């Protein structure tokens, strides 16, 4: 598949079969994260790979809504950025997330981006503080997002190029 085909097929998958992801595929997804571009090559990211079922359940309630799929995921990659290293840690971490999205899709692994930064739990606590406590993360590492991973139990339709909002592309001036 060309990169464009992979991009057309990349969809967020929130239902998983419960089967395990091949370790080799997980390594490729993590390699993709580490290969992402970052400002001044600062690579401010840290990735916590969580497979423990109880911990996945706890992460699934790290948001009031939007993280439920972690309870059925095989694995989560929690992405943190070092704010002491760079002021563009959010952009850098998002690049790593995007790389993981594409690599997972290319390998047939279902995944979904779960926003962590600026979000709250049902109790009104910051998701970041809740997760920092769970995973024992030092305070200068800021939560960006969580990638849920699992074998897809649903297959959202791929995108079609002629249905993209091409009006968003402006030529020469806005
Ligand atoms: C910055 C960002 C935050 C997102 N946060 C969540 C989230 O918290 N929970 C969720 O289920 N999906 C989340 N998503 C997935 C989007 O809902 C999804 O990408 C969008 O609906 C388009 O669908 P697609 O990924 O299948 O193309 C997020 C995606 C991005 C890029």
What pTM was estimated for this model as a whole?
Answer: 0.98
Q: Which helix (H) or strand (E) holds 9?
A: helix 3-9
159 within a domain of the structure (yes/no):
no
Report d(CA 38, CA 96) in Å as an integer.
9
Nearest CA to ligand 1 atom 27: 11
Q: Return the beta strands (E) in the chain as ranges.
A: 45-50, 75-82, 110-115, 141-150
162 within a domain of the structure (yes/no):
no
Does residue 58 come out as left (phi exceeding 0), alpha (psi in the -120 to 50 range) or beta?
A: alpha
163 within a domain of the structure (yes/no):
no
Task: Using the mean position of ligand 1's atoms as its centre, give its distance from the Cα of residue 45 in Å.
Answer: 20
pLDDT of the residue at 159: 98
Three-class secondary structure of residue 36 per DSSP: coil
89 within a domain of the structure (yes/no):
yes
Contact by Cβ (8 Å): 45, 81 = yes
pLDDT of the residue at 74: 98
Ligand 1 neighbour 119 (Cβ under 6 A) = no
Ligand 1 mutation target, pool 6, 7, 12, 72, most atoms within 8 A of CB: 12
pLDDT of the residue at 58: 98
| 10-residue mean pLDDT series, the chain (174 residues) | 97 98 98 98 98 98 98 98 98 98 98 98 98 96 98 98 98 98
Total tally of structural domains belonging to the chain: 1
pLDDT of the residue at 91: 98
pLDDT of the residue at 69: 98
1 within a domain of the structure (yes/no):
no
Tell me, what CATH number does 124's domain have? 3.40.109.10
10 within a domain of the structure (yes/no):
no
Contact by Cβ (8 Å): 104, 110 = yes
pLDDT of the residue at 27: 98
21 within a domain of the structure (yes/no):
yes
pLDDT of the residue at 51: 98
- Which structural domain range is residue 87 located in? 16-153
85 within a domain of the structure (yes/no):
yes
């Amino acid at each position: 598949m060309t990169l464009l085909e992979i991009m057309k097929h990349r969809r967020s998958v929130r239902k998983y079969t419960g089967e395990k992801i091949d370790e080799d595929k997980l390594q490729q997804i993590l390699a993709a994260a580490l290969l992402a571009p970052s400002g001044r090559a600062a690579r401010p990211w840290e990735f916590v790979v969580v497979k423990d079922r109880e911990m996945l359940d706890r992460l699934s309630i790290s948001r009031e809504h939007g993280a439920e799929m972690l309870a059925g995921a095989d694995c989560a990659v929690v992405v943190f950025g070092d704010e002491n290293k760079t002021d563009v840690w959010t952009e850098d971490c998002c690049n790593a997330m995007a790389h993981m999205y594409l690599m997972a899709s290319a390998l047939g692994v279902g995944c979904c981006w779960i926003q962590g930064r600026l979000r709250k739990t049902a109790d009104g606590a910051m998701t970041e503080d809740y997760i920092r406590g769970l995973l024992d993360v030092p305070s200068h590492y800021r939560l960006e997002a969580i990638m849920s991973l699992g074998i897809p139990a649903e297959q959202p339709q791929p995108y079609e190029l002629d249905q993209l909002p091409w009006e968003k592309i402006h030529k020469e001036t806005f």
